[in-house]
Structures are given as structure tokens and as C-alpha cells.
Structure 1
Amino acid sequence: MNNLKLSVIFLFGVLVLFSCDNTETKKGRFLLKGNEKLKENDPEAAIEFYSEALLVDPHYKDALYNRGLVYQQLNRLEEAISDFSSVLNANPADSLALFQRGVGYMDNGEYYKALEDSKKLLSTLPKSWKSHFLTGLILEKMKNYPEALEAFDNSLDLQPDNPEVLINKATLHYYLKEFDQSEISIDIAQKLNPSEPNIYNLRAMLAFESKDYAKAMEWIEKSIELNPKEAFYYNNRGLYQIYLGEYEKGLEDINYSLKQNPKNLYAIRNKGIYYFYKGQKELALTYFKEVFQKDPDLELVKDYIEKCNQK
């Protein structure tokens, strides 16, 4: 299985498009050109234009913020964190930059720094659902599931019909093996936003848990249909294919996912599962041991280590 890439749910939905009176200035024109490149799905070119704007004005908040978002999209987390930090150096209470830097720290594995940003955000905007949502995301990464669930509930108190929060709450119930409660939250989320691919990814995870691998494949195909660019969907599909006996197709998906994110422990584990079923137990064990050293509680790893060590 793979965890939801929770930070992706709404990170890139709102990039500021500026048309105010500074659009005739040089930096404003570069900013607008960068936004146009984003519309054309050319993030590298967008970065170049935002960087040109910042050569004109190194403190240009709009360019720093938008460039930081694109860096985040490309998983260039150190650069994203740097841009959001530059915004916060000028305005430590900037809620947009606090949220995004918190997500950046979280995705970079710097959980305590992320938590500091979430605390600042809660202090700045205690009645914002996003403040509690970020706290929940970070606590989940830290595997503090009860407090993460409480944070998501606080977020839903402020915005009850938010599908993003509901999906993440459903995911936490999944981690806690509370599958019926997970289904309840995901049903509500689907009614609110039936085109959200993470809904079907989670349904696939639940189907896998019940050993209905064919149904898991149906659901993950729906996720990929809705968002063919999300690498961890392919990793999940690869796992389901292995359990259905389609080993080479599974490996192809897992390798594709690893190419996008070589640090994905779920994909490394799944590659070990592939080699286990191909009869290469010693090679499989190297993958399982690598994952175990970094996350000994990751699902299925201990089971497969035991299977590999059986005579």
C-alpha cells in the first residue's frame, strides 16, 4: 500500500494571477509570463520568468510565492522552502507562506519545523480550517494518529463540507484499521467532489485490505484516469498487479513511481515484494531491510522479512 500524498490535495489550486496596475512594470510582465507558462503546463519556463522578475526585485512577494509553489510541485523542496522563507522574512505572519512552508518542511521530513509553522499559523488564524488541517497532516506524518484525527475534526468543525479534510480523515481511519469509519468519510467526500482521484485511491486501498485485488485495480485505474501524473498511484497499481500475478506489469509501474520519487519507501518495499514472488528472496530481503531500517512499522515489511527467512 501507499500513503496518500496528502500535501498535494490543494497545494497548486490557487496561483495568483495579477492584473493590477503594476502589470506594466518589468517585474509584473515577467510574473504574468510565468503564470501563462503554468497555464501551458510548462513549470520550468514559469520558474525562469519568476526568476527574471526576482532579478528586477529580489523581494517581489508574488514571484517568490508563485515560484515556491512551482518548486513544490516539482519536489524541489529546499528551493521551495527558501522562497517561502524569503516571503516570511518580510512578513512573519503571512498565512499563505506559512502554510506552504509548513507543507514543504513536512514533505522534506522536517516535521518539527513544520509543526512550528503550523503553530504560528494556528496563532495567526485560529478559526481557519487550513490551520488545523496543516496540523493534522504533520501529526499524521509523525504517526500521532489520535491527535491528527482531532485536528482534522477541528478543521471539519470550521468547514464541514470540505472533501480534502474528509479524505484525510478517512485515510487516518484506514491507518487505524477503522475501515467502516473510513468508508463513511469517503462516501461523504465523493458526494462533495466525485472527480477527486484520491477518493478512488483510498477505495483501492480498502479493497486491497479486504483482499479484493481485482476491485482494487478497478479503483486505482479510476484514480489514474483522473490524474495520470501522480506517481504513487502507479506504485499502488504495481502492487495490485503483483498480487494478481501480473509481475512484470507491476514492476514497470513500481519502477516508474521510483523514478519520480526514489525515496518512496512503499515503492522500495513493493519492489522487494516483486522479487519475493519471482523467487529471488535474497534480493527481496535487501529491499525489505532498507525499508525496515527507515520505518520498521511500515505495513507488510515484517511479514515479508519473515517469509524471506523461512527455509
Structure 2
Amino acid sequence: MNKLKFSIIILFGVLVLFACDNSETRKGRFLLKGNEKLKQNDPQAAIEFYTEALQIDQKYKDGLYNRGLVYQQLNRLEDAIKDFSVILQENPSDTLALFQRGVCYMDNGEYYKALEDSKNLLTLQPENWKSHFLTGLVLEKMRDYPKALNSFNNSLIYQPDNAEVLINKATLHFYLKEFEKSEAALDLAQKLNPDEPNIYNLRSMISFESKDYEKALDWIEESIKINSKEAFFYNNRGLYLIYLGELDKGLEDINYSLKQNPKNLYAIRNKAIYYYYKNQKDIALNYFEEVLKKDPEMELVKEYMAKYNQE
């Protein structure tokens, strides 16, 4: 749920080229070329141009920041963390780099480092919605849902019309089984941004919890219609199809999701459920045990393990 928007630094104004080219002009020109490649959806070429700028000046903040963002988008999290850390070594109060490094640490599973960055951000900008939002995201990953919810509520104090924060708040209410509160937050988010696919994904999950599998399928189709590239939408659709008796169609979606992210434990769990209903229960058990080792609290796993033991 924590899909974040990235802001590339752009040089404003015109670079005036003198007869004698200087380093500021050259590194700025490489930055602009990198930005152009990014607009053309060529992130690797963008990285190369940002690197050219950094060969002129290893501590060039704009080059480090932009390259770090592209690394982050490509899930090269260690590389992104290094770039943001160079900025922070020069200026520990750089809130842009601090926020993005915190997100990278979180996505890399380094939750305590992410939490430290979020605490520093709160110290520097206690009245900025993003400071509280990052804290909430990290606490959510650490499964401290009440504190995470409190952080999202604090974030909304400073930016009440932020659909992204509202969706994350709705997600926490969902985890806490507070479905009416989750729906209320989603209603607000949908008014602000009706084209956000995560709204309909979460509505599908609420419908699934209510055992309304047809409605769950309708909602997830809305998500896929808006964003047909998001792997976890297909994983959810695969689960709903299994519960509607369309086992092989469900497996097709789950396998598609796993190709995008082979470590997705929810997809592995859903594959186990598929094999359970195909009466290939030894295969199902292997998948369930794999998930159980890595996430003992995941929904549905213990339920199916109990069914297996009763048979």
C-alpha cells in the first residue's frame, strides 16, 4: 500500500554555455540529459548521465538524489541508500534525502534504520505530513498497528486531503478488523482520487473477508483496469478465483504474480491453497510450511494447516 511518488530534481533556468566550459555547466548538462532519458522511460541511460555528472563532482547533491531515486524505482535499494547517505554525510538535515533513505531502508527490511531516519525527520520537521507518514509506514511494517495508525492520523492533521495517507489508514483499520472505519477512510480517499487502484484493491479485500467473493472479484477487476501491471492485484484476483471454483484461472494469476516477485509470501500461500483444493495436499503442505516459517501470523495459513491435520 505504500506506493510513493518520486520527485526528480530539475535545474531551472537556462544553462549558458561560455567559450570556456566550467564544471558547474558540465555537470548540470549531464543532469538535464539524465532527466530527459527518464522522461523517455530509459532509467538505465538516466543513471549513466547522472553518473557522468558525479564523475565531475562526487558530492553533487542533485546528481546523487536523482540517481538514488532511479535506483530506488529499479529496486536497487543498496545503491539508492549509498547515494542518499552521501548527501546526508554532507548535510544530515537534508529532509528530502532523509525521507527517501528511510523508505529505502524500510523496503529493504531494515526497519530499525528506517525508524531512526523517521525519528530524525520528525525532529527536523515535526509539522510536516511526510515525517509522520514515514513513521507510520515503518511501524506498519513492524506490525505495530495502533502506533502506525496514530502516526497516519497525525499526518492527516497537517494534510487532511491526502488520499495516499487515507488509503494507508484504511489499510490499518483493515488489519485491525475495523472494516467500517476502513470503508469510511476509503470513501474519503476515493472522492479525492477516484483513479487510485489501491482503493479498489482494499475494497476487494474487505469483500473477501465478508465472504462476498463475487464482489471481491468485481473490485479487483477495477484495480487491474486502472493499473494492469501491478503484480499483487493479480495475486488477489487469483485467490478470489480459487474461492469461486475457477482453480486453474486462479493459478494462472498467482503464477504471473510470482514471476514478478518470487518471494511474495502471499502468492506462495495462495498457491498452497490452490493445491489444497486440487487434492494435492502434500504439495500444499510444503508451501504452507514455507510460509509459516517466514511469517507465522499470515492470514489463512493456520486455518488450512488445521484442516490438513483434521483429515
CA distance in structure 1 between the aligned counterparts of 2:238 and 2:108, rounded to whole angstroms: 25
Go from structure 1 to structure 2 and tell me whether the alpha carbon gap of 1:45 and 1:229 turns closer, same or farther (over 3 Å shift). farther
Shift of 1:310: 2.9
Sort the Cα spacing of 1:41 and 1:225 in 2 relative to 1 into closer, same or farther, 3 A: farther
Deviation at 1:23, TM superposition (A): 7.6
Greater Cα radius of gyration, structure 1 or 2: 2
Task: Identify if the C-alpha distance between structure 1 residues 45 and 218 changes in structure 2 by more than 3 Å, giving closer, same or farther.
Answer: farther
Give the drift of 1:235: 1.3
Q: For residue 259 of structure 1, what is the amino acid of its counterpart? A: K
Alpha-carbon displacement from aligned partner over 1:27-59 (angstroms, at most 9, x marks no partner): 222222221222222222222222222222221
Report the residue type matching 2:257 in the other structure: S
- 1:157 deviation in Å? 1.0
The answer to whether the aligner puts 1:135 opposite 2:135 as a matched pair is: yes
Larger mean CA deviation between 42-51 and 299-308 belongs to 42-51
SS of 1:286's equivalent? helix
Pairing 1:70-219 to 2, within 5 Å after superposition? 70-219=70-219
Matched residues in 2 for 1:307 and 1:46: separation?
A: 52
Partner of 2:41, secondary structure, is coil
Alpha carbons of 1:54 and 1:93: their partners in 2 closer, same or farther (altered >3 Å)? same
Q: Which residue of 2 aligns with 1:51?
A: 51
Compared with structure 1, are the counterparts of its residues 206 and 23 closer, same or farther at alpha carbon in structure 2 (3 Å cutoff)?
farther
Describe the SS at the equivalent of 2:80.
helix
Cα distance in 2 for partners of 1:226, 1:17 equals: 29
TM-score (norm 1): 0.93
Q: Distance in 2 between matches of 1:16 and 1:126?
A: 24
Partner of 2:245, secondary structure, is coil
Greater relative contact order (Cα < 8 A, sep 6+) = 1
Aligned to 1:222: 222
Contact residue 31 and residue 49 of structure 1 kept, 8 A = yes
Number of residue pairs matched? 304
Partners of 1:240 and 1:44 in 2: how far apart? Answer: 37
What is the alpha-carbon root mean square deviation over aligned residues?
Answer: 1.5
Identity %: 71
The structure-2 alpha-carbon separation of the partners of 1:253 and 1:92, relative to structure 1 and needing over 3 Å to count, comes to same
Do the aligned residues in 2 keep the contact of 1:238 with 1:252 (CA within 8 Å)?
yes
Q: Establish whether residue 289 from structure 1 lines up as the match of residue 289 from structure 2.
A: yes
Partner of 2:27: 27
Deviation at residue 21 of structure 1 after TM alignment: 5.2
Deviations 1:100-157 (A, max 9, x none): 1111111111110000000000000000000001001111111101111111111111
Where do 5+ consecutive residues of structure 2 fail to align?
Answer: 18-24
User: Take 1:254 and 1:56, find their aligned partners in 2: how far apart are those partners?
Assistant: 47
Q: Which residue of 2 aligns with 1:16?
A: 9
Structure 1's unaligned 5+ residue stretches are: none
- CA shift in 2, pair 1:249/1:124, >3 Å: same
The amino acid across from 1:11 in the alignment is: K
CA offset digits 1:207-254 (Å, max 9, x no partner): 111111121122112112222222211211121122122222222222
AA matched with 1:168? N
Q: Distance in 1 between matches of 2:250 and 2:56?
A: 49
Q: Does the 8 Å CA contact 1:190/1:196 hold for their aligned counterparts?
A: yes
**Partner secondary structure for residue 253 of structure 1:** helix
CA deviations on 1:136-182 (whole Å, 9 max, x unpaired) are 11111111011111111111111111111111110000000000000
- Runs of 4 or more consecutive aligned structure 1 residues displaced over 4 Å after TM superposition: 21-24
SS at match of 2:138: helix
CA distance in 1 between partners of 2:46 and 2:309 (Å): 51
For residue 275 of structure 1, what is the aligned residue in structure 2? 275
